[in-house]
Structure formats: structure tokens, C-alpha cells
Chains A and B, each alone.
Chain A
Amino acid sequence: MPGVSHRVCLSIGRRFLPALMLAAALLSGGGIARADDAVSLSITIKDHLFDPAELHAPAGQTIAIHVKNLNTIVSEFESSDLHFEKIVPVGAEAVVYVRPQQPGRYNFYDDFHHETQGFLVVP
């Protein structure tokens, strides 16, 4: 019994390896690149307020939002509109990349402190 399952494991391993390598090749061929042409925006969180409370950026472009946490407590920078979530420790600066494709007013917030609300406005 152990012999059989050992053989099965090996054969499964052999099956998986090419699939994994293919997946890795597809992913790297598919675009592992950190675009430097991203629009860079900066925002801080202090006393549970975003500063500025409203960011502006063009549509259809990659936007790098740099967020610095000047609170005395950890934040989770998050947006359900823009689909990102990221822990920002006290005093740390973090970056998230977003690609809004439609004009609109996208809400983001500190998921640990919901009084901290801000918007990304895409005209």
C-alpha cells in the first residue's frame, strides 16, 4: 500500500512539474514588468484623515498611489472600488498600483478606521 501511493505521488509530481513550468513561462511572457510610466500620486494619513482627501488622475493609465501613515496606529489602505488592500505600518510608506479605466469618483479608506475616507477622481 505505501509503495503504491509513493509511486502515485511521484507520477503526480512528474505531471505537475511541466504544468508549473508552463504557468511560470506564460506569466513571465505575459508581462512581468514594473511600468515606470505610472502616474505617481502621494497621500498621507494623519490624525485619521487623508491629506489630500481627493486625488486626481487621468483615465486609462496606471497610477501609483504612495501612501504614508503618519498616524500613531497601523492602517489598512483599502478600496473596494479600485480593488486593493494593503497594510501600512506606523511611519511607513506603501505603494499600490491601480488602473481605473472609466471616469468616476473612486472611494478609498482606512479599513481599520472607517472615518478615514478619500477619493480618486478620474475626469
Chain B
Amino acid sequence: MLAALLIVFREVFEAGLIVGIVMAVTAGVARRGYWIAGGVTAGVLGACVVALFTGGLSELFGGSGQEVFNAGILGFAVLMLTWHNVWMSRHGRELVAELRAAGEAVAAGSKSLLALAIVVAIAVLREGSEVVLFLYGVAAAQGGASWAMVGGGFIGLILGSSVCLLTYFGLITIPARYLFGVTSALIALLAAGMAAQAIAFLEQANIVTALDETVWNTSWILSDSSFLGRALHTLVGYVDQPTAMQVVVYAATLGAIVVLMKLFAAPAARSPRTA
């Protein structure tokens, strides 16, 4: 029971942080609930499919199929987060200003909502597939689901989901005029962390081998297997022993997002084409 509780909690907690941020980013946008719920549902279904095909997936790419798959969907999430931030840097303010009045602003916002729903789906899929594999494995080994396993999983789910709500309610206490800046920064850091993690998977698969020396070791201050370390890993990509390549990709992603946001930020006079 305890193992089921811990594993479900840990995975739901990590996905929950991301879902909480997305909920705060989209606070006040009409119908965002459908998009986020859709993202979670797609993620859960995707997790079951991935769990079902893990055996076959593992054998692809010379036994590194899982790594390539994880790196691929993380890379896709980075693109979605980047696109969202760039889009918001152009339209965020007008969107917030027009939200209450105009219906079409919301319609335009749904493009950005789709990007975020995809990010939610990917986060849930990644964490969820581990939960599905674990619970299915336990159930298969003991010849069926037990009440202890279901109970443990359920408590883990409730505890993990409460982290999602805490993240959301914590973020929306930030005054509205700062919220846009804070959430943009969170999204950018989230994207940079995911890009570095994608590199870590490619390194584990021996596909990326350049710049593989460890740059620093802060495991004695904050291990990334500790609770706080895991949370920071999910949120801002904290790693206690990063390789040089991970640091370079992290910085490059962050830099690219900042530059793109500045390029596309819309002062009233500029047209989109000259941006």
C-alpha cells in the first residue's frame, strides 16, 4: 500500500506542479477548464497506451526507444511552451484587457490554450505511464488489484492533486499586473528544464556524447532525488550534477525564449511582419 501511495503521489505531484502553473497562466480565460481537462484526459489515455507498448518501445533505436521517445515529447513540450510565451508576449496584454468584453479575443486565445493543453497532456503522459506500469505490474504479480493497492493509489492521487491546487492558488494570489511576468518566467524556466532533461535522456541513450563532463556537483547541498530537489527539477530543471551539454542547452533555450519574446513583443506601432 505504501509503495503504491508513494509512487502515485510522486508522479501526480510532478505532473500537478505543471498543471497548476498552466491553470494559473490561463486564469480568467473562458473555457480553459475544458482545455486543461482535455489535456489531462489525453495524457491519461496516452499513459495507458505508452504503458501498453513499453516493451516494443524499449526495443527501438537499439534498445534506447524509451529515451528517444521521452526526449522527443519533451522537445515538443519545449516548442509548445516557447510558442505560448512568444504568443502571449504579443497578445497577452490585449487579451487580458479585452477578455471581459470581447468574445473573439477568447477565440484567438484558444490557439495558445491548445499549446498549453498539449503541455499538460505530455506531463500527465510521462508521469502517468510510470504509474500505470507500476500498478499494473503489482496487480499482475498478485493476480488482481487489491484494496491496499487501490487505496494507496487513491490517497497518493488525492495528495498529489492537492499539490496542483496549492500551486494554482499560490500563484493566483500574485497581483494581476505581476502575474503575467511571473508566469512567463515560470514557463520559460520550465521549458529550459525540459530541454536539458531531453538532453539527459539522449545522453543516457549514448546518442548525445559531446560536452559530457560534469560541470558541478551540488548533491551535498540539495540532492535531486530529495523532495525539494525533485520539485525544483520539475519546475526549473534543477540537476545536482549536470553535464556541460545540459547547461549549454538550458541556457540556449532560455536565451532563445527571451530573445523571441523581445522580437515579437508588440509595441502598438509595429506591424507583425517587421517584428
Contact = CB atoms under 8 A, between A and B. Distances in A.
A32 B208 contact: yes
Given A34-B206, A74-B134, A80-B223, A1 B272 contact: no
B137 A12 contact: no
A87 B133 contact: yes
Contact of A80 (B87, B206, B212, B225): B225
Nearest to A71: B141
Interface in B63-88: 63-64, 66-67, 79, 83, 86-87
Interface string B257-275: 0001001100000001101
Chain B, interface size: which category?
35 or more
Q: Which of A4, A5, A76, A88: most chain B CB closer than 10 A? A: A5
Interface residues of A, number: 45
21 contacts: A2-B104, A5-B91, A5-B108, A7-B273, A9-B111, A11-B273, A15-B264, A30-B210, A31-B209, A31-B210, A38-B206, A62-B209, A72-B140, A86-B58, A88-B58, A89-B54, A89-B58, A95-B62, A97-B204, A99-B212, A101-B213
Given A5-B108, A83-B204, A92-B58, 13 more contacts: A1-B108, A2-B104, A4-B272, A33-B209, A73-B138, A73-B140, A74-B137, A76-B133, A83-B200, A86-B58, A95-B62, A95-B64, A96-B204
A8 interface: yes
* A interface, over-half SS: mixed
B207 A32 contact: yes
A120 interface: no
A98 B209 CA distance: 10
Contacts of B66: 86-87, 94
Nearest to A84: B204
B104 A1 contact: yes
B29 interface: no
A83 B200 CA distance: 8
Interface of A: 1-2, 4-5, 7-9, 11-12, 15-16, 19, 27, 30-35, 38, 62, 64, 72-74, 76, 80, 83-84, 86-90, 92-99, 101, 112-113
